[in-house]
Amino acid sequence: MKVLVAVKRVIDFNVKVRVKPDGTGVETSNVKMSMNPFDEIAVEAAVRLKEAGKVTEIVAVSMGNQSCQETIRTALAMGADRGLHVLTDIELQPLAVAKLLQAIVAKEQPLLAILGKQAIDDDCNQTGQMLAALLGWAQATFASKLVLGDGSADVTREIDGGLETVAVKLPAVVTTDLRLNEPRYASLPNIMKAKKKTIEQTTPETLGVDAAPRLKILKVEEPQKRQGGRKLASVEELVDKLRNEARVI
Amino acid sequence: MRVLVLAEHDNKALKPATLNTMAAAQAIGGEIDLLVAGQGCDGVAQAASKIAGVKKVLMAADPAYAHPLAEDLAKLILTLAKGYSHLLAPATTFGKNVMPRIAALLDVAQISDISAVVAPDTFRRPIYAGNAISTVQSSDAIKVVTVRATAFPAAPASGGNAVVEKIAAPGASGLARYVGSELAASARPELTAARVVISGGRGMQSSENFKLLESLADKLGAAVGASRAAVDAGFVPNDFQVGQTGKIVAPELYIAVGISGAIQHLAGMKDSKVIVAINKDEEAPIFQIADYGLVGDLFQIVPALDKALAKPGGN
């Protein structure tokens, strides 16, 4: 069985993002980029299924400019078998990504697509659900446990207030939540091996997908700053302030 | 303009985030209908009909909706969507699961997690864990939107008098089946709806030590939350997590205990009205946004605070 994983290149989660002075977006030049953390969990989930003998091939897909190849190499070093890069310079929004993935699924015919639940740049949390919709597949979002069965999968989902388990028919889309696994670091030998794995390149035009953005970004601003920093000397002073100044208790 | 709000409920009661979503719908304007899809949800539909500003409650009662499966709900909503200019749901795990599926089936973009309505086609939303705010405009015929509940006031739960109209259900998709759930049973209020939230971080050191916070929470009628570090360390379950990838809260009072204040955590709580930070590291970033900070050992401060709150005083 073949698994597709989608990996996005984003500003590293440790970087403090800066809004561009002209309000068109955030500064991305000379900023450390990494694989979206939830996508690392997706790759790890696929690799573990392969190690367990349930999966035969893992295809890692990324979309964007030439630098996305680095992100695909990371997935290959973690254990994905081959890469697919959709080369484009246009801003890809979730619906376009879902359509591109749909076209790739039509070609690759995987039984499972594993995606991160959310990218930490646009915080949209849409692509997996959209892909499932376009394919007419079941979706199991925010997965914290994934058990592959024969023709179906039992997925435990993180929901508000606890956990929910659903049984989804395969093929299906699974999106990952934090507790699904702890992604491995790629070992040096595996990083070397990954250099020999193939990354096939394609474009939205070749895939026949109109990937133009639907939402117009009018401006990007800094959020309002909070005035904090006041330190108190004792618990008594805190209780007094909460009762008589802030009046919240 | 006609807005359809997807109500979140458990077949017994409406979830509070539905009321905040109503407020966002009112900010958009036009007629507002509310969809209650469930099983044995007559009581919920009745309650929904009392919400101020609702024109009509559409009730779809069917075994397929006993549990909110995205595949089946999307199929239902697709039969209604063409009559509306906007489809709204709260940006909870419920809304986040269902709405993008509908958007894709309608071939429209979704606007996720809006924090303000600028115009019926223009919305503000946080990106990069709230470190930037994006203003986006949609030219799609139907706007599919999820709403950040903490950014909107709750619409009054009474005062309305909407009709309840039963609608036909198109049946189950057969793609997914509910197996079971483990919901945390707690006498404390829900994190996202609590007036006071007390969260613990890595500094709590163990699951056992969270009892200190629980005792404090019971005195303040508070919910207990946690940073991702505390969840990753296994001190508490994931549904305690406050932050970019967990829950977004904005209570009257937020007390951060042993939390350093990573940007991902701040993203989930910085809109709280009053923030208190208790941490032994005076350089911890949490102090920069805290209204009141106490530098010191939480294992001394928290019990002392617990004791001080037990004494009557103030108002």
> Which chain A residues touch B290 with a CB distance below 8 Å?
228-230
Strands in B42-189 per DSSP E: 56-61, 86-90, 110-114, 116-119, 122-127, 132-138, 143-147, 163-166, 176-183
Residues of B in contact with A176 (CB under 8 A): none
B184 contacts on A by Cβ (under 8 Å): 161-162
Tell me the pLDDT tens digit for each residue of B274-283. 999 999 999 9
Summarize the confidence of residues B187-202 as an average pLDDT.
Answer: 92
Nearest CA in chain A to B9: A160
Contacts of A98 in chain B (CB under 8 A): 104
Mutation to test the B interface, candidates A124, A219, A224, most B Cβ within 10 Å: A124
Q: What is the CA radius of gyration of chain A?
A: 21
For residue B121, the 8-state DSSP code is T
**Per-residue b or e along B173-204, where b marks 16 or more CB atoms closer than 10 Å to that residue's CB:** bebbbeeeeeeeeeebbbbbbbebbbbbbbbb
Q: How far is A197 from chain B (nearest CA, A)?
A: 32
Q: Tell me which residue has tokens 């009321």.
A: B19
Q: What is the pLDDT of residues A7-21, one digit of tens each?
A: 999 999 989 899 999
- From the list B109, B238, B294, the residue facing A232 with the nearest CB is B294
CB contact under 8 A, A138 and B289: no
Residue contact B183–A158, C-beta within 8 A: no
Asked whether B208 and B235 are in contact (CB, 8 A), the reply is: no
Q: Is the predicted ipTM greater than 0.90, yes or no?
A: yes
Measure CA of the first residue to CA of the last residue in chain B; give whole Å: 46
Nearest CB partner across the interface for B103, out of A130, A162, A241 = A130
Q: pLDDT tens for residues B63-76?
A: 999 999 999 999 99
Q: In which band, very low, low, confident or very high, does the pLDDT at B185 lie, cut at 50, 70 and 90?
A: confident
- The C-alpha atoms of residue B127 and residue B94 are separated, in whole angstroms, by 20
Percentages (nearest 5) of helix, strand, coil residues in chain A: 30, 30, 40
* Contact present, A120 and A36 (Cβ < 8 Å): yes
Q: Distance between CA atoms of B96 and B90, rounded to whole angstroms?
A: 8
Helices (H), A18-67: 37-51
Burial of A1 per CB tally in 10 Å (0-12, 13-18, 19+): middle
The DSSP code sequence of B13-51 is SB-THHHHHHHHHHHH-SEEEEEEEESS-HHHHHHHHTS
The residue behind tokens 């009662």 is B61
With tokens 């019990």, the residue in question is B303
Structure tokens given for A133: 């919709």
- pLDDT score, position B190: 87
**pLDDT tens digits, one per residue of B76-97:** 999 999 999 999 999 999 999 9
pLDDT for B11-56, tens place per residue?
Answer: 999 999 999 999 999 999 999 999 999 999 999 999 999 999 999 9
Say how many residues make up chain A: 249
Cα–Cα distance for residue pair B239/B191, rounded to 1 Å: 9
Is A165 in Cβ contact with B245 (below 8 Å)? no
Nearest chain B residue to A98 by CA: give it: B104
Q: What rounded mean pLDDT belongs to chain A?
A: 96
Pick left, alpha or beta for residue A72 (phi over 0 → left; psi -120 to 50 → alpha; otherwise beta).
Answer: alpha
What per-residue confidence (pLDDT) applies to B313? 61
State whether residue B86 sits within 8 Å of chain A by CB: no
CB contact under 8 A, A123 and B126: yes
Question: Does pLDDT of B315 surpass 60?
Answer: no
How far B221 CA sits from the closest chain A CA (Å)?
10
* Residue A230 pLDDT exceeds 80: yes
Q: Which of B268, B26, B254 is nearest to B129 (CA)?
A: B268
Shortest CA gap B96–chain A (Å)? 7
User: B314 to chain A: nearest residue by CA?
Assistant: A243
Across the interface, which of B92, B109, B270 has its CB nearest the CB of A93? Answer: B109
The closest CB to that of A243, out of B97, B304, B315, belongs to B315
* Dist. CA A27–CA B92, nearest whole Å: 29
User: Cα–Cα distance between A33 and A20 in angstroms, integer?
Assistant: 17
User: Quick one: pLDDT band at residue B314, thresholds 50, 70, 90?
Assistant: very low
Percent helix, strand, coil in chain B, to 5, is 35, 30, 40
What contacts A70, CB < 8 A, 6 or more positions away?
A9, A33
Closest to A158 (Cβ–Cβ): which among B103, B126, B239? B239
Alpha helix segments (H runs only) across B131-289: 210-220, 228-232, 263-266, 286-289
Query: Would you say residue B200 has pLDDT above 70?
Result: yes
Q: What percent of chain B has pLDDT over 70?
A: 99
Instruction: Please count the other Cβ atoms lying within 10 Å of the Cβ belonging to residue A30.
Output: 5
Cis-peptide into B237, omega within 30 deg:
no
Q: Nearest CA to CA, how far is A70 from chain B (Å)?
A: 22
Mean pLDDT value across residues B287-305: 97
B263 CB neighbours in chain A (<8 A) are 16
CB B166 within 8 A of CB B61: yes
Closest in B69, B133, B182 to A166, CB measured: B69
CA distance A9 to chain B (A): 14
B206 reaches A (C-beta below 8 A): no
Cβ-defined contact of A223 to B126 (cutoff 8 Å): yes
Q: Which of B93, B138, B292 sits opposite A230 (nearest CB)?
A: B292
**For residues B236 and B204, what is the distance between their CA atoms, to the nearest angstrom?**
11
Nearest to A241 among B98, B252, B292 (CB): B292
Q: Is A239 helix (H, G, I), strand (E, B) or coil?
A: helix
Contact A178 B110 (CB under 8 A): no
